[in-house]
Amino acid sequence: MTTLTHRTRRTEVSKNSEKKVEIEEDTNPERGLDNEDSGDSKDIRLTLMEEVLLLGLKDKEGYTSFWNDCISSGLRGGILIELAMRGRIYLEPPTLRKKRLLDRKVLLKSDSPTGDVLLDETLKHIKATEPTETVQTWIELLTGETWNPFKLQYQLRNVRERIAKNLVEKGILTTEKQNFLLFDMTTHPVTNITEKQRLVKKLQDSVLERWVNDPQRMDKRTLALLVLAHSSDVLENVFSSLTDDKYDVAMNRAKDLVELDPEVEGTKHSATEMIWAVLAAFNKS
């Protein structure tokens, strides 16, 4: 499980760090999905999986850290959240015997194609599976982490490469070949730095200038991306360009966010249960 870490040269976060950085909390309760990204109408539309991969890629080298063993499952969690936010799947309603998010099964709401190959492939698996499975089980199945040989068919293969090709088609990445002594590897350097900077700035603002101190008032896609970036161990990449004081504030707030109780947050009004279910699955893993 990934953890939020502070910069190595700092042994303790200053208790006064929030006071050093003048960050005005957003007190507008009406801010929602439509208002959060009102200026993004001209920007390229990306899926949550594409955004997570873009955050994890080294700009010039075009590959993710070799030490990152979290991003594969993080991308699968992103697929489930993306499908839920597009109205294709949902969690079964809670019952007396199944109250917890991780006990409730993922159900099909609509099998209409999304236009994204990975999403539609996952949708077919969910539709064809009986009995239905939980969020945690689906993440494991889609990642290939199962001991059941009959369920290996559910593994999504070459996910990073397929997502990267989508980003190439959208003009954000390019494709190159790099030689690593014993083998050649396809890499995808970032060509549209502006789009990546916009994404990074959006996440930075969500825990700094536009911090609302209430996940239910956050833009749902931004909340989902923060959860997935944390689960995929790429959140450090987002905050690395900040000054020390702002870095500490951003890390503390992100840490507070992902350490909330998913069971409590998932029951609140207007909560997106799938986001909290995915977080609960990664907290347990």
DSSP percent split of the chain into helix, strand, coil, nearest 5: 50, 5, 45
As given in the structure block, the two tokens for residue 142 are 């889609």
Please say if the pLDDT value at position 29 is more than 50. Answer: no
**Model pLDDT, residue 194:** 95
Contacts of residue 47, Cβ cutoff 8 Å, sequence gap at least 6? 78, 82, 116, 119, 163, 166
- pTM, to two decimals: 0.84
Residues 107, 134: Cα–Cα separation, whole Å: 9
Please classify residue 240 by burial: count the beta carbons closer than 10 Å to its beta carbon, then call 0-12 exposed, 13-18 middle and 19+ buried: exposed
- The pLDDT tens digits for 99-137 are 899 999 999 999 999 999 999 999 999 999 999 999 999
Please say if the pLDDT value at position 21 is more than 50. Answer: no
As given in the structure block, the two tokens for residue 63 are 């590959």
- The pLDDT tens digits for 213-224 are 999 999 999 999
Mean pLDDT along residues 158-170? 96
With helix as H, strand as E and coil as C, how does 216-268 read? HHCCHHHHHHHHHHHHCCCHHHHHCCCCHHHHHHHHHHHHHHHCCCHHHHCCC
**In one letter, which amino acid is 101?**
L
Please say if the pLDDT value at position 42 is more than 70. Answer: no
**Model pLDDT, residue 48:** 98
Residues 217, 197: Cα–Cα separation, whole Å: 24
pLDDT cut 70: percent of the chain above it:
84
Answer with the residue of higher pLDDT: 283 or 69. 283
**In one letter, which amino acid is 166?**
N
